[in-house]
Structure 1
Amino acid sequence: MRNTPFVKRSLLVLTGTLAATAALAGCGGGGTDTPAAGGSAAPGGSAAAPVTIKVQAWYTEPQGNWNATVAAFNKTHPNIKVVYEGLSEKGDSQEGMKKLDLLAASGDQMDVIMYSAAPDYAQRVGAGMLEPLDEYMKKDGFDPKAEFKIDTSVNGKYYALPGKMIEWLVLLNKDKLDQAKLPVPTEWTWNDYAEYAKKLTSGEGANKVYGSYFHTWKDYAQLALSNDPELPFFVKEDGTPNVDNPKYRFSLELRNKMENVDKSSVPYYDVVSQKMGYRDVFYAGKTAMLLTGNWMVGELALNGKFNTVFAPYPKFDAKDPNGYTSINADFVGVAASSKNKQAAYEFVKWYTTEGMLEQGMFFSGWKKADLNKNVEAILKSGKPELAKFIDKDSLLATLKVNKATKLIVPPTFSLQQEKELLSQVELYLTGKQDLEKTIQTTTKKLNDIKTSSK
């Protein structure tokens, strides 16, 4: 899709409000080039000079090891020259996403682009920023369902493939666990997690150490909902609310009990008013447990300060299968405005398979990736003196029981719904409304957003 004035205006709206509209959704999904017309860069082809493409994302060089990754691709693909362009000095995915929107609106060169969450990805599909990949993969004999652990399709079409795969787990400060004489959990429920948090909480005032920490993201509002194999999200794929659900209710009640009754998890008000960063709280030893994504393994290898062990994502009921966890991914796609789509596709396919292993920084969503080698590469990418702080046995044991729930790629208007959901969660956790009103109001407001978006 070319950058017409309408598209440019739409993308600027995305940048300013991060809210999709029905007009955006009507913009379509891709460019006019056929798979063979994106440049003469396919393996086995010939070209007078290499095609130069840009890979644009938010990662800094320390976060992404891009110099070595790009060099590995360029060495094996002489017809394509890849240049990585970092869009955030701090490695902030939201900042990077806004800059991508501005680049698209201004008509600058874009070839390979990335998004860090399904709602952001879905919204950009609706804005026409991503090229459909189905014809490229069909021509290539590449079956994404057979290759990857998660399905990144939107309405039956693929606009991106999964880069790093995010599964959730629990980080525990081993020293504090030993002080409380608690074993490393290998299978536990949310109620068990809450009991651990109480036993791991100690001290008062400025010296208080909490057993648990929950951040402000939606993931921490749908804790037990994320255990559901088929519908682990606050809305269904069509935007229908999924909050009047026993697992969602349980999630809010659990947080309220831990934060406001047991005082075993950092209170929501403190998290917001003090602008807490989850990494800082854990590294400073102010929480004994941190429920988070597996990207923290690589960060521990760079910044670890004490012995850290790992436990699986807690489950809703003791009878449930162990290991179902919330998942996400980096969504790596071809810009619809790219003049070298075939070359960009070649990089996307390589990076999301072999390239992730070359990069050695993140967990791969490729089915053929060797988990043990993946872990070794991530640990090796850090500082050698910090490897001793990471308990590899509990990490591997946790990763091996992890089971991916279905990835819900929600409608383009889901970011509006998420914002409303979080505002209602805040009212509940700060005591301004009860659970029933929270559920009822959230359901109504999410439905209103869905209706108005038709």
Structure 2
Amino acid sequence: MKKRILVMFVAFMLLIGLVAGCTGGGENASGSGDSKESGDKVTIKFHTHGNEATYNWKETIAAFEKEYPNIKVDLVILSEKGDTQEASQKLDLAAASGEQLDVLMFSDPAGYAQRVALGMVAPIDEFIEEEGYKVAEEYKVDTKIDDNYYALPGKFNPWYVLLNKDHLDEAGLAVPTDWTWDEFMDYAKKLTTADHYGTYFHGPQGGGWLEYLKLALASEEDNTEFVKADGTSNLDNPLFKKTLEMRLKMEVEDKSATPYTDIMSQKLHYRNQFFNQDASTILIGSWMNTELGGTDQFPLNFNVAIAPYPKNNKDDEGGYTPVTTDFMSVAANSKHKKEAYTFIRWYTTEGQIVQGKNIPSWNSVSDEDLESIVDGILAETKNPEKVDRESLIHVLKNAKSSKMIPPVAYQAELYKVINEEYEKMILDGQDVETTIKAAETRVQEIIDNNK
């Protein structure tokens, strides 16, 4: 009940801000046309969670303003430490107070979908149609919500498997370029020794890191969440059962995965587990690219390789994996929507190459540019020579994002109860069937209470 009141309050405050933003002067809402040629100079505000160290904004924005001299970008960094929660709170406050908003950056699907639902974000379909391209062909990440586009994707951070190549060599195992979950489990078993586990799963934990309970689901093109696009439960999906069975077998039967009791009681973290060589493999997101060659905090004393996210069956297309991105949007109350769109379109294409900090979602990035970005990222680590560059590039080139299913407003509640039922299974011996039935019942109650 408290959560619903809070959502209604935020929506009300945002509505006030949006109305306030629309009463300022009767300027054409779609902006002033092609600002490359227009004589009118326009300043757009760009609100972001990303700091300078992580996103190289000075060089990136300078390059944009050079190409579009009649659009000035006023950067508003919402969190100097890159804290996305702090940034979200400040962005909502700015919207509620009627501040100028033009370009908005969201760091996760839930934050993006929530702001769309609150009317804070403008659809950009008219600009896409005017330019004449298809988002699904142009970009690797799906951003569609209810048949409309409200964002273009920036970086492309697919999940992959980090491998201790020294451990693989000792076990006589090759670096996989295409593999299944069964093969992943077999590798983990063969890699387990008295000194280290074959793998480490960093979740679930307190309703977070639920990616580790979607393992088999996430290998598919569609239907990868606990709730389907139509709002019904997806816990009867055989791939959810498969994930639970995998986790149970690896931890309890094979003893090839770090025990959940250790993870929770010792507050273990994936970086320590991998870089300290306590686990031979780690399923994690490619935000780790910037750390692969080691850092001051986590030195690298072994060789690293990268394998793709496993698929369910040998004959499957493969490449599908959880992906994180930055959702680049135009604010609903912007008076310069055309210019704001011009910036996000440039930033999510040429701008990603200029920025040089992340792998772009843009499909038109050349192999040469991709390799150059990878080399630039690795060069900033302590020991780039210890990273199997070819395996990393192979994975990044072939990774694909599943179709986006907008997160539900009550996602945190769902995650909490699924996490609890998983713990009953892994800690208390509750069988898989009972775990699924209990989770289904509790999830359905949440869905019904939120209709």
Coarse TM-score class (shorter-chain normalised):
0.7 to 0.9
Q: How has the CA–CA distance of structure 1 residues 364 and 389 changed in structure 2, closer, same or farther, with 3 Å as cutoff?
A: same
The partner residue of 1:376 within 360, 366, 372 is 372
Shift, 1:273, TM fit: 3.5
Instruction: Give 2:196's aligned residue.
Output: 209
Q: Distance in 2 between matches of 1:266 and 1:62?
A: 34
Q: Distance in 2 between matches of 1:301 and 1:113?
A: 32
- Give the 5 Å matches for 1:44-443: 44-57=36-49, 59-203=50-194, 208-216=195-203, 217-300=209-292, 303=295, 305=300, 306-381=302-377, 382-383=379-380, 386-431=383-428, 433-443=430-440
Q: Distance in 2 between matches of 1:419 and 1:98?
A: 23
Shift, 1:391, TM fit: 0.9
CA contact (8 A) 1:259 1:266 kept: yes
| Corresponding residue SS for 2:111 | helix
CA contact (8 A) 2:201 2:283 kept: yes
Q: TM-score, normalised by structure 1?
A: 0.85
How many residues in Structure 1 have an aligned counterpart in Structure 2?
A: 432
Query: Once the two structures are superposed, what CA deviation does each residue of 1:402-423 show, in whole Å capped at 9, x if it has no partner?
Result: 3443232344444443343333
Q: Distance in 2 between matches of 1:248 and 1:335?
A: 37
| Corresponding residue SS for 2:233 | coil
| Corresponding residue SS for 1:172 | strand
Instruction: Give 2:441's aligned residue.
Output: 444
CA contact (8 A) 2:35 2:71 kept: no
Q: How has the CA–CA distance of structure 1 residues 451 and 388 changed in structure 2, closer, same or farther, with 3 Å as cutoff?
A: same
CA contact (8 A) 1:123 1:413 kept: no
Instruction: Give 2:10's aligned residue.
Output: 10
Amino acid paired to 1:269:
T
CA contact (8 A) 1:53 1:340 kept: no
Q: How has the CA–CA distance of structure 1 residues 300 and 448 changed in structure 2, closer, same or farther, with 3 Å as cutoff?
A: same
CA contact (8 A) 1:12 1:102 kept: no
Shift, 1:212, TM fit: 0.8
Amino acid paired to 1:194:
M
Give 5+ residue unaligned stretches, structure 2. Answer: 1-5, 204-208
Shift, 1:367, TM fit: 1.8
CA contact (8 A) 1:361 1:377 kept: yes
Q: Distance in 1 between matches of 2:393 and 2:256?
A: 28
CA contact (8 A) 2:166 2:303 kept: yes
Q: How has the CA–CA distance of structure 1 residues 446 and 8 changed in structure 2, closer, same or farther, with 3 Å as cutoff?
A: closer
CA contact (8 A) 2:303 2:387 kept: yes
| Corresponding residue SS for 1:211 | strand
| Corresponding residue SS for 1:138 | helix
Deviates most, 416-425 or 362-371: 416-425
Query: Once the two structures are superposed, what CA deviation does each residue of 1:63-122 show, in whole Å capped at 9, x if it has no partner?
Result: 222222122112212122223333334433344333333333344443322223223321
Deviates most, 131-140 or 358-367: 131-140
| Corresponding residue SS for 1:288 | strand
Q: How has the CA–CA distance of structure 1 residues 82 and 283 changed in structure 2, closer, same or farther, with 3 Å as cutoff?
A: farther
Amino acid paired to 1:358:
V
Q: Distance in 2 between matches of 1:419 and 1:86?
A: 32
Amino acid paired to 1:283:
F
Q: Distance in 2 between matches of 1:238 and 1:315?
A: 25
Instruction: Give 1:19's aligned residue.
Output: none
Instruction: Give 2:206's aligned residue.
Output: none
CA contact (8 A) 1:161 1:331 kept: yes
Q: Distance in 2 between matches of 1:316 and 1:163?
A: 28
* Percent identity of equivalent pairs: 42
Q: How has the CA–CA distance of structure 1 residues 302 and 332 changed in structure 2, closer, same or farther, with 3 Å as cutoff?
A: farther
Q: How has the CA–CA distance of structure 1 residues 11 and 213 changed in structure 2, closer, same or farther, with 3 Å as cutoff?
A: farther
Compute the RMSD of aligned alpha carbons.
3.1
Shift, 1:129, TM fit: 1.9
CA contact (8 A) 1:54 1:109 kept: no
| Corresponding residue SS for 2:215 | coil
Q: How has the CA–CA distance of structure 1 residues 118 and 380 changed in structure 2, closer, same or farther, with 3 Å as cutoff?
A: same
Amino acid paired to 2:78:
L
| Corresponding residue SS for 1:37 | coil
Q: How has the CA–CA distance of structure 1 residues 350 and 62 changed in structure 2, closer, same or farther, with 3 Å as cutoff?
A: same
Q: Distance in 2 between matches of 1:54 and 1:225?
A: 35
Deviates most, 325-334 or 423-432: 423-432
CA contact (8 A) 2:321 2:400 kept: yes
Q: How has the CA–CA distance of structure 1 residues 180 and 69 changed in structure 2, closer, same or farther, with 3 Å as cutoff?
A: same
Q: Distance in 1 between matches of 2:11 and 2:292?
A: 36
Give 5+ residue unaligned stretches, structure 1. Answer: 1-5, 15-23
CA contact (8 A) 2:292 2:381 kept: no
Amino acid paired to 1:212:
T
| Corresponding residue SS for 2:174 | coil
